[in-house]
Amino acid sequence: MGTIGKRVYEALFLMDTAMAAADWDGTLKVIETVLSRGEAEILSIRKWDERKLAYDIDGKGRGTYILVYFRMDTQKVTVVERAIWLSEKIMRVMILRTDRMTQADMDRPTPIVLAETMPAGVDGVPAGIAPSAPSAPMAPMAPAAPSPN
C-alpha cells in the first residue's frame, strides 16, 4: 500500500446555530468524535463565524462555522467523510489538503475575530452584501423554518 503517511487538513464544519449556542462544548464534541474515527490529531479548533447562510439548508437560515486543522493518515479520510455523512448534526463540511496553503493562509483571522476587533460599521461580514440581499424576498418562505430558532 502506498504509505503517504500523514497530512495536515483543513476542515470547515457548518453546524446548527441553535445547537452551537445552546451547547458549545457538545458541538465541538460532535466534531471531535467524527475526527477521532480517523485518529486525527487536532491542531486547532475554533469558531470561524456565525452568519446568515446564502441559501437555506435543512430549513435553517443561519449557521455556525467551525474551522479545524488536523493531522491525519491520508488513508483515513474516507472513513471520516463517511462518519460525517452519517451525522445529522453536521450540515455541511469542506475538507481540504493544506499543501498549497501558506502558514499565513491558515493563521488568517476569522471574520468573527475581525468583527470583534473592528468598530461595528466596517466589518466585512455584512459587506458581503450579496447573500443578505435576497433575504427580503425570501422572507415569506421563512415561516416554515424559524421554529428551530
Partner 1 sequence: MAFKKKPMQRKKRFNTGIREQSQCRFCREKIDYVDYKDIPTLSKLLTNRGKIFSRKRSGNCASCQRKVKFAIKRARYMSLLPYSL
Binding interface with partner 1 (CB under 8 A): 12, 14, 48, 53-55, 57, 63, 65, 67, 92, 94, 100-102, 105, 108, 111, 124-125, 127-131, 133-134
What minimum distance in Å lies between the beta carbon of 106 and partner 1?
A: 10
What minimum distance in Å lies between the beta carbon of 1 and partner 1?
A: 29
Question: In the complex with partner 1, which residue's Cβ is closer, 75 or 110?
Answer: 110
What minimum distance in Å lies between the beta carbon of 2 and partner 1?
A: 25
Radius of gyration of the chain (CA): 17
Question: In the complex with partner 1, which residue's Cβ is closer, 71 or 92?
Answer: 92
CA distance from start to end of the chain: 48
Question: In the complex with partner 1, which residue's Cβ is closer, 2 or 100?
Answer: 100
Question: In the complex with partner 1, which residue's Cβ is closer, 35 or 65?
Answer: 65
What minimum distance in Å lies between the beta carbon of 100 and partner 1?
A: 5
